[in-house]
Structure 1
Amino acid sequence: MRASQQQQTPLRWVLYGLAALVTLWLYSLWSTPAMGRELHALAESGVDLEVLGIGRHSASVIFLHGLSGSGTLGLPLVERVREDLLQVSWILPSAPAVPVTANDGELMSAWFDIDELNIVSPNDPPPMPTREDEAGMRKSVARVHALIQKELDKGIDANRIVLGGFSQGCVISLLAAISSKEKLGGVMCLSGWLAMSDKLEKHGGKLRHPMQEPHAHELPVFWGHGDLDNVVAHSWGEESVGKLHKMGFRDVEFYSYPALEHYMSVQEEKDVATWLSKRLPPT
């Protein structure tokens, strides 16, 4: 990500701040027996987590974490919404450790490489990125497609599978959703952006993404973004949603959360649960 007229901050300080927020977010994980240390240890070992739903398994949510995290970052959300989502299982993969340019080439968990990571001023946000790790993104998208196939092999209908993610996870889940050959149940985009949006081309009166399948515009989309996000600008979310509309997407719900930085709020979790309940009702 390259920002003009932004004060660059060493990545390690940004990560320290994000780690502090993550620590608070994970507090309930350690105090709840149902989702505690065993799952955390599995995720840290590279195992894709699966949290079974209540009742028979008839729907699945595949949720991707953000930069420098693991599958455990999705556990607090799952814990707080799963009782409202009967029969829904959650798959929480962990990104591989890869060299990250913004971190001086050192290894860290990431779904794709980034050049820079700057503190974003909500009052003077940078433009959306145009130089992106397309190869890394496509590799991660292929992994998500493989996870989708595993759910299909279990007998889960495609329209009962929802993708979702936070930050980098949002980027990959959205790309995986619009490029899936299956007609999925929807995609949850949290504090991210539409990657490769500078490569949209006119096609039949609409814009078309280079990874977009013909039926992608029928996909229901939930988009949540804090208006004080200082990592992925709120304006990136607004611009991404605008481009989805120009790509022919009709069912897009955009939620802007006041005074929220780069994390999820309680209200956002409630909105996610309500949206998922409509998409994945018990059968």
Structure 2
Amino acid sequence: MTDTPETDIPLEHVHVAPDGDPANAPAVFVLHGRGADEEDLLPVARHLPDDLHVVSLRAPDPLQGGYTWYELDLSAGGLESSQPDAEDFRRSLDLVVESVDAAVDAYDIDADRIGLLGFSQGAITSLSLLLENPDKYAWVVALHGYLAESHADLDPAGIEDTPVFVGAGTGDRVIPQSRSAAAADRFEAIGADVTRGSYPGGHGIGQQELADVVAFVESHVGGD
């Protein structure tokens, strides 16, 4: 069931309540990619266990009919070597944290069982949020993203054994597979429990990747 969003949550969003009793249920916060919106990943989220609150957040800045979490710093070359604009990135990271905290209160979410699922810019944002506060998130799914340089050297206490799924496309020309693999390498090095997925195709989520994501999430939050 999709609810009318609470107005005191900083970011616009869609909330899908879990089946059964929503009180103190776990949640997944969904972060879309550049140029998309809060509806974009709902078809993915609908495959996840039905005892989850789904809170799909909209990025703050309009872009080409959709929204973006930040502008791109292209000073290192083309799109394939881009980095988040530092000021925009910081603002979005803070807005997501504020929105998560507000949603926990608004929807009576279990604050100890929060996951993040992000695609592209949303994946980059999700990985950085985990590094900044690993005790806040029970698991993270990062699809077709990379580890921002601003966070690449962080080695926070508490990240050990945190489940992280990193998915990549072998033909992805927006975020090459090598960048996702480097993120997975780094998270393994600092002790996270990393699951890797490599899939034929480009910058999108195919059926096998979706199936693997669902299996990963089910293994950490339960399911039918």
User: Do the two structures share a fold, i.e. TM-score over 0.5?
Assistant: yes
> 1:254 — aligned with what?
196
Counterpart among 187, 203, 207 of residue 266 in structure 1: 207
Code of the aligned partner of 1:136: D
> Of 123, 127, 135, which aligns to 2:87?
135
| Separation in 1, partners of 2:54, 2:122 | 15
Cα separation, 2, equivalents of 1:177 and 1:233: 22
Gaps of 5+ in 1: 1-33, 40-45, 101-105, 120-125, 201-208
Contact 2:60–2:92 (8 Å) recurs in 1: no
Task: Output the CA distance in 2 between the equivalents of 1:181 and 1:254.
Answer: 19
**CA, structure 1 residues 108+51, in 2 after alignment: closer, same or farther (shift >3 Å)?**
closer
- 5 Å matches for 1:70-149? 70-79=37-46, 81-82=47-48, 85-97=49-61, 109-116=67-74, 118=78, 128-129=81-82, 132-149=84-101
Question: 1:113-134 CA deviation, whole Å, 9 max, x = no partner?
Answer: 1034957xxxxxx5x54x5412
For residues 149 and 182 of structure 1, do their structure 2 counterparts lie closer, same or farther at Cα, with a shift above 3 Å needed?
farther
C-alpha RMSD over aligned residues: 2.8
Q: How many residues align?
A: 213
Deviations 1:261-280, CA, capped at 9 Å, x for gaps: 00000111111111111111
The amino acid that maps onto 2:16 is: V
Partner Cα distance (2:31, 2:87) in 1: 18
Change (3 A) 1:138 1:227: same
Tell me the CA shift for residue 176 of structure 1.
Answer: 1.2
Change (3 A) 1:135 1:217: farther
Within the candidate set 170, 188, 191, 1:245 is matched to: 188
> Which amino acid in the other structure matches residue 178 of structure 2?
S
How far 1:152 sits from its partner (Å)?
Answer: 3.7
Partner of 2:33: 66
Q: Give the drift of 1:151.
A: 4.3
Greater fraction strand: 2
Q: Structure 2: which 5+ runs fail to align?
A: 5-10
1:165 alignment partner AA: G
Contact preservation (8 Å) 2:18, 2:51: yes
Partner of 2:20: 55
> Residues 1-283 of structure 1: matches in 2 within 5 Å?
47-57=12-22, 58-79=25-46, 81-82=47-48, 85-97=49-61, 109-116=67-74, 118=78, 128-129=81-82, 132-153=84-105, 154-180=107-133, 182-196=135-149, 200=153, 209=154, 213-249=156-192, 251-258=193-200, 260-281=201-222
Aligned residue identity for 2:34: L
**Contact 1:188–1:222 (8 Å) recurs in 2:** yes
Q: Which has the larger radius of gyration?
A: 1
Residue 94 of structure 1: CA displacement?
0.8
